[in-house]
Amino acid sequence: MRSTVRGVSDYGYAVEVAEGYDEAVLRARLALKGEGFSIITEMHVGGLLGPDVGEDRQYLFMGAWAQAAPDTLSDGLQVAVHIPCNVVVQEAGDGAVVAALDPASEGDVSDGGFVRASAAAREALERALSRLREQL
């Protein structure tokens, strides 16, 4: 079975993974790392979402960071600048959804360095999510 792109929302991107939550988590980690992201935090919040969402629902939040490429940096940005990309893997029936916030959604759009760095992070994130559609 293949995953399907769920579409682009106002906040980012989402991909459906028909093979289930555990497979989606594994594939998301591998796809992000394959595009140079560092996953610096993970928090399972499924039981914290309350009874309306389901006490046993699988829901993982990942804080993935993309290091800014040197050619995207302006004088005001330092080499160690990273762009945060929030990624969520959530159970959806028998499958799962991997959703990611657009890295350009939070930041100073008047800063040319940020715009270039977030565009590079967005492209890497789009490639990572495209990997989710493929079988590993």
Domain harbouring 57, CATH code: 3.30.310.70
Domain that holds residue 35: 4-132
The rounded distance, in Å, linking the Cα atoms of 18 and 94 is 7
pTM, two decimals, is 0.77
pLDDT of the residue at 117: 78
The closest of 12, 13, 16, 14 to 3, measured between CA atoms, is: 16
* pLDDT, tens digit, 9 for 90 and up, residues 70-115: 555 555 555 445 577 889 999 888 999 999 988 777 666 677 777 7
* pLDDT, tens digit, 9 for 90 and up, residues 24-73: 999 999 999 998 888 989 988 776 665 665 666 788 999 888 765 555 55
Number of domains in the chain: 1
